[in-house]
Amino acid sequence: MSTRSGKLVIIGGAEDKKNDMTILREVVRLAGGKHARIVVMTVATELPIEVGADYIEVFDTIGVADVRMFDVSTREAANAKSAIKAIEDATCVFFTGGDQVRVTKLLGGTKMDAALHERHESGLLLAGTSAGASMMSSTMIVSGISETNPKIGIVEMAPGMEFISGVVIDQHFAQRGRFGRLFSAVAQYPHHMGLGIDENTAMIVDGLEFTVIGAGAVNVIDAGALTHSNIEDVSKGDDLALCGIKVHILPSGYGFHLRDRTTIARQRGVDNE
């Protein structure tokens, strides 16, 4: 279990962009406030102009003077000098939603990938929402069936971008009924913790701890104390039995220690949005 030196803001999607904008304001604060230099990475979406313009407008409203979009639609673009320059100059790289497979397919192993990890190790803030959240981990959910109980074969997994290890992240969690598919993912990878993030909710990862902000909760599924699973005895589509798993539901202000697998009590003065 490890994270890089820079903080991560991992957002469950559909973050508020019109009212209090609690999560995006926190991204700006962590990125340097009025001195922030934010690069909006639209690599995950097939609508980069529309999505990028939306975030540029929001960050401009918050007061960021230096915010720009960078799109990667080919691996050649991710190896260009302009890509490296964009990462070198930023205080925050913000990954939008879309399809997490596009992120790994277009960035994985490129010079931009290397620059992101190098800068993050030296303190660069990385933020991502929806697909931009799922791709943060070393193992990510690619697709899966929602609104079902845990079953064999309802979730597809693949390597992620490896900004945080030892976890599997799912987003739009409560809103799209993704409990079953995250339990199924953890059953396949019991050494990983499942992190299900609700919409308009974020976990801020600092070293080996994270704190929750926003309107919903982060659901932690810990199979470390698993006492029984029937995963080896059933076939695709069959129901899973999982005994002894711990589940923590953490709203705004609560936190979690990723190595010790222990909760951190609600911080005083933190409002549950």
CA 10 – CA 31 distance, rounded (Å): 14
The pLDDT value given to residue 113: 98
Q: Which residues of the chain have pLDDT under 50?
A: 2-4, 272-273
Picking from 128, 67, 57, the residue whose alpha carbon sits closest to that of residue 95 is 128
Active site residue 121: no
Q: pLDDT digit string (tens) for 6-33?
A: 999 999 999 999 999 999 999 999 999 9
Q: Which of 15, 117, 162, 199 is catalytic?
A: 199
Q: Which of 130, 134, 137, 184 is catalytic?
A: 130
The pLDDT value given to residue 5: 82
Active site residue 172: yes
Q: Which three-class secondary structure string do you get for the chain?
A: CCECCCCEEEECCCCCCCCCCHHHHHHHHHHCHHHCEEEEECCCCCCHHHHHHHHHHHHHHHCCCEEEEECCCCHHHHCCHHHHHHHHHCCEEEECCCCHHHHHHHHCCCHHHHHHHHHHHCCCEEEEECHHHHCCECEEEEEECCCCCCECCCEEEEECCCCECCEEEECCCCCCCCHHHHHHHHHHCCCCEEEEECCCEEEEEECCEEEEEECCEEEEEECCCCCEECCCCCCCCCECCEECCEEEEEECCCEEECCCCEEECCCCCCCCC
Active site residue 35: no
